[in-house]
A and B are shown apart, each in its own frame.
Chain A
Amino acid sequence: MRVNFTVNGRRYEADDVWEGESLLYVLRERMGLPGSKNACEQGECGSCTVRLDGVPVCSCLVAAGQVEGREVVTVEGLADFAARRSQAHPGRGHLPHAERSGGGCASGACGTALDKARQWEAEPAGEETRDTGELSPIQQAFIDAGAVQCGFCTPGLLVAADELLERNPEPSDADIREALSGNLCRCTGYEKILDAVRLAAARAEETV
């Protein structure tokens, strides 16, 4: 069959797609976008997480035919996606306060202060490693906080964490854990991933 859909803002047409192929397979093997990863292919690990019409999904569990006419954002398009969002909603960038979900903030102690988040920030080795200008804030924070080791879980975590910060710019630790609980990481013990999300949130606050 033929499938038409938009990936990272660009129209794609995939031909000769077998009906059993997943969105993940089509992205990786037919579109040359292997950034979304194939760690379990049964929806348990989250390493294939993409946005489908804005909603984070495991692309391994989406049949290619289901995405006909829809919009997909993968890790390869995350920086562009974040930049465009930032232009549309300047400042802290994401959604107006009223539209944010208030989950997890019952105590009023949600979010991590910038000073506190800064303590996890590593010293960069060279200027070019720091500010490429081509990364989204969450991508930069993952590098700076040491949240990347083997990196196989990273693309899915980035897409999930970016979506979290979009709807909840000041997440508590419990919010972060809940939002990322569908993404397995085997290397880091998650501490540096939490640091990265805190850091990205703190930096966004700083730029307001």
Chain B
Amino acid sequence: MGVTGNPTSINQGTRTKGGIGESTLRPDGILKVTGEFAYSSDMWHEDMLWGHTLRSTVAHAEIVSIDTSEALATSGVYAVLTYDDLPTSVKNYGLEIQDTPVLAHGKVRHHGEPVALVAADHPETARRAAAKIKIDYRELPVITDEASATAPDAILVHEGRGDHHAGHVPHPNIVHRQPIVRGDADAAAARADVIVSGEYVFGMQDQAFLGPESGLAVPAEDGGVDLYVATQWLHSDLRQIAPVLGLPEDKVRMTLSGVGGAFGGREDLSMQIHACLLALRTGKPVKIVYNRFESFFGHVHRHPAKLWYEHGATRDGKLTHMKCRIVLDGGAYASASPAVVGNASSLSVGPYVIDDVDIEAIALYTNNPPCGAMRGFGAVQACFAYEAQMDKLAAELSMDPVEFRQLNAMEQGTLLPTGQVVDSPAPVAELLRRVKARPLPPERQWEVAGEPADVRALPGGLSNTTHGEGVVRGIGYAVGLKNVGFSEGFDDYSTARVRMEVIGGEPVATVHTAMAEVGQGGVTVHAQIARTELGVAQVTIRPADTQVGSAGSTSASRQTYVTGGAVKHSCEAVREKVLEMGRRKFGTYHPAWATAELLLEGGKVVTDGGEVLADLVDVLEDEAVDIELEWRHRPTEAFDLRTGQGNGHVQYSFAAHRAVVEVDTELGLVKVIELACAQDVGKALNPLSVEGQIQGGTTQGLGVAVMEEILVDPKTAKVRNPSFTDYLIPTILDTPTIPVDVLELADDHAPYGLRGIGEAPTLSSTPAVLAAIRNATGLELNRTPVRPEHITGT
């Protein structure tokens, strides 16, 4: 039909090996190294138009008028759409609260909010036409922090809130508030020999996935639309898109295109509805591709946070109590803010045993950029603060910071502040022991006898700012606690369709899910699971689309657990059916069909003793077994809105880091020399991918420790650095060696005993680097990222 870049099914495997536990290679690897893998920005269609989004140049304003006439009159322009062109009464969308306008209506609430759309025959024509749209703004005061949001005369970011959090928040500019109270923190404080407190600031981090928001919407003859897009959850997108278009969900057919990274930034919609609207209006396929500048406005960021903590401990180093207050800036729209609040509060204690706590977390509505999901999701900000507190306490007590943590470390059976029991291994002390036991990298590695210093190994790098003068070394430790899966009573299921048949004289399994492969390697793992469960060599992974049930989100470290669990579950059902067929056909020939435990291995039905009963080819013949099933992990409960009590989480994930840094104290430049990580993964289904996740997560934590921050002007609420020139992410020169130590302590509740792994390393990486810089400089450093002026004091 003239589309290029359509996703293709991926085949992998010729032998029965390649099951779980092996480092099998990515089935999409060859396509990705040859440039043939079709990302959402690579889509092309005959006769296609280019869409462009006009965004607000101010953060908070009433829209007095919009004049699109000049844009519409531009040669090559096919459509210009504003709020007035939306086809149905559903004009907002949102993950949990539908507060986000598809196109601004009467008001803009943040810098870069979409106001109008243009479709034209060339992307530059669309951009230039959009620039001709005249918008008259009447600017309003901006709400940028807790003080301005909750002032008695504060303008409400959203008037007339009717969402399910509106009734229990202390102010309409607070999206959600979650207190957690357990024991008696004040009484316990009286028992403390030392009390430390601190206020910590966490900057706004961007996911900075490399593949920009993009996709192609193709209008269909049945009045529906086919949408090829990069997202984290197809069915969540679908649920939000279809009502705005006025189409039933089965007329919005979504297919996952190649996704160039996500990290939470693709949970919310970006260009999906816009491309569909333009396609349906013009009757032509419409492609939208954000450039990097627009991408910074096109997705939510990690919540910046202010965190106030107080901890106490006895002279012998036991924690007595913890009080904390966490204020997250959710920006102009809710996005995932309520769930981020739930995480920040329930994980605010970290992986420590503290019986008496008084916790409060809130998210604000402001006119800053909307914030939502990013890897670590509320737990990252808390970990930065409580780990700084642990170091402060250890220093007060003259204890080793690792030993102090180990003395208070959570373990299996520990009760969390929510009243939930940690009912699987929690090797917090062991992870710390492992990173500490690792030999330290040699000092002054830049020194080469008789040669000039290798500046590449020094702070400042190729800028050649020091040859070792003023450089001091520091070492820091941190450990974190992250939940796995969607929490607080969410029905967090996944669906997998598995088919088994004989093709070309060989048994072949086909796995079809709607799981968004965003780079994490879920497709690799699905094939491994199918080989293990079905004993076949050939596994085909079908492209993810909405023709199969929901796989839930590629978020919350959940996909290997939940969609992996669903694939396993459906494979087991297929296996049962195949064995039934075998019993029917061959049961009378061998008693083992009735009496033995039967497995599928190497393309054959075998007994657990290894005796071969039949070839799968003979069992199946020309029949196909095809089963689609949903699978759920253990249910969770909502947190009580007053006390925060409740079995809110499914599983926990733990990682520890040791950072070794060298700091040029004269210029305030930091070189991270090594960032060692130890993590419990339950079961490494693919050890190579596990390491890749840990190293990638660690590096994102490093980024927000020393360089990454979206700067928002506090006077105007405008973003000041929406580019890779001004928003810096770690390069290969900024990133140290990341030795990884993987522990596999099975969680008996999870498929294969596995543990979700993607996020935990992002938690402890940042505070470990901060601790190392503090260790090197003796400075307090209560904010991240650390900038040179924080170190030099200039």
Contact = CB atoms under 8 A, between A and B. Distances in A.
Interface of A: 18, 20-21, 28-29, 32-42, 44-45, 47, 74-76, 78-79, 104, 106-107, 122-129, 132, 134-135, 139-140, 142-144, 146, 148-155, 158, 174, 176-178, 180-194
A76 B37 CA distance: 11
Interface in B268-323: 289, 291-292
A143 B692 contact: no
A107 B261 CA distance: 38
Contacts of A143: 25-26, 29-30, 33
A143 to B, nearest CB: 4
A32 B210 contact: no
B35 interface: yes
A76 to B, nearest CB: 5
A189 B696 contact: yes
Contacts of B737: 191
Contacts of A79: 34
A135 B14 contact: no
Contacts of A158: 33
5 shortest interchain CB distances as A-B pairs = A35-B35, A150-B519, A152-B260, A151-B32, A189-B695
B5 A189 contact: no
Contact of A40 (B38, B521, B724): B724
Given A126-B18, A178-B456, A184 B210 contact: yes
Given A47-B210, A126-B18, A193-B732, A151 B37 contact: yes
A11 B15 CA distance: 42
B32 A154 contact: yes
A32 B35 CA distance: 11
A154 B33 contact: yes
Interface in B487-520: 518-520
B729 interface: yes
Interface stretch (B39-47, B100-108, B472-480): B39-47
A151 B30 CA distance: 10
Interface in B189-215: 207-212
B738 A189 contact: yes
Given A106-B448, A187-B692, A35 B23 contact: no
Given A125-B527, A177-B733, 6 more contacts: A42-B724, A148-B32, A153-B210, A178-B462, A189-B699, A191-B695
Interface string B249-277: 00000000011111100000000000000
B389 interface: no
Contacts of B41: 34, 37-38
Contacts of B291: 38, 40-41
Interface in B691-747: 691-692, 695-700, 723-725, 729, 731-733, 735, 737-738
Contacts of A126: 12-15, 18, 537
A128 B518 CA distance: 24
A29 B260 contact: no
Contacts of B729: 184, 186
A192 B261 contact: no
Contact of A34 (B5, B32, B210, B733): B5
Nearest to B519: A150
Nearest to A38: B41
B420 to A, nearest CB: 32
B124 interface: yes
B28 interface: yes
A28 B692 contact: no
B24 interface: yes
B221 interface: no
Interface of B: 4-5, 12-15, 17-18, 22-30, 32-39, 41-42, 44, 122, 124, 207-212, 258-263, 289, 291-292, 448, 451, 454, 456-457, 462, 518-521, 527, 537, 688-689, 691-692, 695-700, 723-725, 729, 731-733, 735, 737-738
B688 A34 contact: no
B372 to A, nearest CB: 18
A125 B4 contact: no
B289 A75 contact: no
Contacts of B209: 150, 152, 186
B34 A146 contact: no
Contacts of B207: 186
Contact of A125 (B24, B259, B261, B699): B24
Given A148-B29, A150-B211, A184-B210, A37 B260 contact: yes
Contacts of B698: 189
B503 to A, nearest CB: 16
29 contacts: A34-B41, A35-B34, A35-B35, A39-B260, A74-B35, A75-B35, A76-B35, A123-B23, A125-B17, A125-B24, A126-B13, A126-B18, A143-B25, A146-B26, A149-B261, A154-B32, A155-B33, A177-B732, A178-B462, A180-B732, A183-B732, A184-B731, A186-B208, A186-B729, A189-B692, A189-B695, A189-B699, A190-B735, A192-B695
A37 B699 contact: no
Contact of A123 (B22, B519, B695): B22
Contact of A181 (B527, B691, B697, B732): B732
A123 B44 CA distance: 36
Given A126-B537, A174-B454, A151 B44 contact: no
Contacts of A194: 732
Contacts of B37: 151
Contacts of B26: 143, 146, 148
Given A125-B12, A150-B210, A191-B695, A186 B700 contact: yes
A38 B212 contact: yes
Given A28-B42, A125-B22, A129-B29, A149 B696 contact: yes
Nearest to A196: B33
B258 A151 contact: yes
Contacts of A180: 732
Contacts of B4: 32
B205 to A, nearest CB: 12
B448 A146 contact: no
Contacts of A191: 691, 695, 735, 737-738
Nearest to B451: A106
B32 A38 contact: no
A33 B210 contact: no
A121 B191 CA distance: 55
Contacts of A41: 291-292
A150 B261 contact: yes
Contacts of B29: 129, 142-143, 148
A129 B42 CA distance: 24
Contacts of A189: 692, 695-699, 735, 738
Contacts of A182: 731
A7 B212 CA distance: 25
Given A18-B122, A129-B29, A37 B211 contact: yes
A106 B38 CA distance: 43
B102 to A, nearest CB: 25
A155 B18 CA distance: 27
B451 A107 contact: yes
A123 to B, nearest CB: 5
Contact of B25 (A106, A122, A181): A122
A49 to B, nearest CB: 12
A42 B210 contact: no
B530 to A, nearest CB: 12
A181 B291 CA distance: 22
Contacts of A178: 456, 462, 733
Contacts of B24: 122-125
A44 B724 contact: yes
Contacts of A42: 292, 723-725
A142 B33 contact: yes
Nearest to A146: B688
A182 B262 CA distance: 21
| B12, B13, B27, B35 pick with most chain A CB within 10 angstroms | B35
A42 B27 CA distance: 31
| A35, A135, A152, A184 pick with most chain B CB within 10 angstroms | A152
A192 B14 contact: no
